[in-house]
Amino acid sequence: MLIAHRGNLNGPNPEFENTPFYIELALENYACEVDLWVIDKEKLLLGHDRPSILIQPSFLYRPTLFVHCKNREAFIYLSELRQFLSLEEMPTYFFHDREEFVFTSRGHLWCYPSKKAIPYGINLMPEFNHLSPEALVGCMGICSDYIAEYSKDYL
């Protein structure tokens, strides 16, 4: 599984990361990780360091999204949404800070960047530690700013 980190395909692009248009482009060929904030129990905003771009709830209704809940309210919002949407509509969601790994809402092992890949996990940003394609064999997935480059080895 190949996941575009914040919609990036060929490297970081802070101007466009976590914007709906950029994410839609990434979703044409890959799954995509996005950062979600929920404010006042109903305002949904994308943004990495702070809530920035207001979205409609329906933007999240797709299983190819991996939603990094940036605050407690986002996690609660998505947990409650599960009772109203089918599995085919629900995104995968998770909360993490600097834990070595966490489980997502679908039971995937989401792994923080590490010097060693975690087998069967979705390894985040393997380029941070210069992990080779061989080191990633056996991983369930890769989430990267350079996912188009990884796709040459994994598609």
Q: What is the pLDDT of residue 85?
A: 85
CB contact at 8 A, 48 and 13: no
CB contact at 8 A, 2 and 124: no
Q: What is the pLDDT of residue 136?
A: 86
Bridge-partner residues for 101, per DSSP? 111
Q: What is the pLDDT of residue 155?
A: 54
Q: What is the pLDDT of residue 137?
A: 84
- For residue 83, what are its two tokens? 């009772």
Tokens 């996690």 sit on residue? 75
Residue type, 133: P
Query: Residue 154 contacts by C-beta under 8 Å, 6 or more apart in sequence?
Result: 2, 133, 136, 142
Give the tens place of pLDDT for each residue, 73-89: 999 999 999 888 888 89
The candidate with the shortest Cα–Cα distance to 47, out of 59, 56, 38, is 38
- Burial environment of residue 123 by CB neighbours within 10 A (0 to 12, 13 to 18, 19 or more): buried
Angstrom CA distances, 136 to 10, 150, 151, stand at 19, 10, 12
C-alpha span between 6 and 80 (Å, rounded) = 24
- Give the mean pLDDT per block of 10 residues along the chain (155 residues): 97 96 97 97 93 95 96 95 88 91 95 87 91 85 93 71
- Burial environment of residue 46 by CB neighbours within 10 A (0 to 12, 13 to 18, 19 or more): buried
Instruction: Quote the percentage of the chain above a pLDDT of 90.
Output: 71
Residue type, 141: G
